[in-house]
A and B are shown apart, each in its own frame.
Chain A
């Protein structure tokens, strides 16, 4: 999953400290695997280097300095592009798609279009696989079938998510 872009999406709602970013990330996307502090600061350093975030303020304290990060215009463009592009359909994509849906809702972009674009991309690949299956031998058929069943599961998830967007929007914006 694209942790960097997910951080940017979280920062789009307003500047945050590294600690707050970790907390927000874990709350929304880290149920299975929370992000480590090492990852948080390495990711922020990379975003800073690429000009996607900037330091908005530094608070001195007893411990290490606490930096507050803010998203830059280039960072917003990055988020925008990421949300607009379909993911390459492949198994176990849900965590990325889920992050996109949640961030689109959080940042007020709406997630319907994103889901439709992704559904079209999935079906495009399913069509290719179906064609390959028709032209191929039994081995091709079995390999393609495996992929087709996984893609179909993703599509069902996209459909269910589309039907529950209002409910999800109410949860993430609260």
Chain B
């Protein structure tokens, strides 16, 4: 079986500093893979390359058999908007919009009428247990609630792949666990693959397998049978 998402021999430097030096990774549909490693090891850069946010200097990222760097910018943006979902550590919600409008935003950008998009948003907010904050602006909600809203927004388009970069990094243990529990349950229900960047083992333990990045290279490519 061909992997849903595959990266091979990725190299990426920022100026003279190499961030990736031959990293590779494969993710199957519906699989949850944790990318671990110390700070500065290149794991976020790897995620950004996999998600089409960064273009690697060399090597290839393929999604459903198509190479991302071969796509036109507009195609790649469309892919990011409708087939991929993203959750970051913080600061990702639009402060001027309510939580409901934030979750509905990716659907609105794809041209869905407001009422339908907000109905979908409400379903997701309910699934993530944050219906109560739907009409609030992000500045008025707690960190844990904000992250659950962000997960709802990342999943609202039913993406094939959810990219999560330290999604619990700014939360305490209890809220972090709640986010991971909901994120992984919602992803499994939908068959969404998850690429989860974390330096915390307790967060990585929610995955099916882990890949370790050290000095821009990946190790531990073995799969769970």
Same complex for A and B? Answer: yes
Residues of A within 8 A of B (CB): 116, 119-120, 122-123, 126-127, 129-130, 134, 148-149, 151-152, 155-156, 159, 162-163
In addition to A116-B212, A116-B219, A123-B210, 20 A-B residue pairs with Cβ atoms within 8 Å of each other are A120-B210, A120-B222, A122-B201, A123-B201, A123-B205, A126-B204, A126-B205, A127-B206, A127-B207, A130-B202, A130-B205, A130-B206, A134-B181, A148-B202, A148-B205, A151-B201, A152-B200, A152-B201, A152-B202, A159-B38
Interface size of B in residues (CB-CB distance below 8 Å): 15
- In the complex formed, the residue of B with least CB distance to A120 is B220
Interface centre among A151, A159, A162, A163 (most CB of B within 10 A): A159
Across the interface, do B204 and A123 meet the contact criterion of CB distance under 8 Å? yes
- In the complex formed, the residue of B with least CB distance to A148 is B202
Interface centre among A119, A130, A155 (most CB of B within 10 A): A130
Rounded to whole Å, the gap between the CB of A128 and the closest CB of chain B is 9
Interface residues of B in 180-225 (CB under 8 A from A): 181, 200-202, 204-207, 210, 212, 214, 219-220, 222
Across the interface, do A163 and B38 meet the contact criterion of CB distance under 8 Å? yes
- In the complex formed, the residue of B with least CB distance to A123 is B210
Q: Which 7 A-B pairs have the closest CB atoms?
A: A126-B205, A130-B205, A155-B201, A152-B201, A127-B205, A152-B202, A148-B202
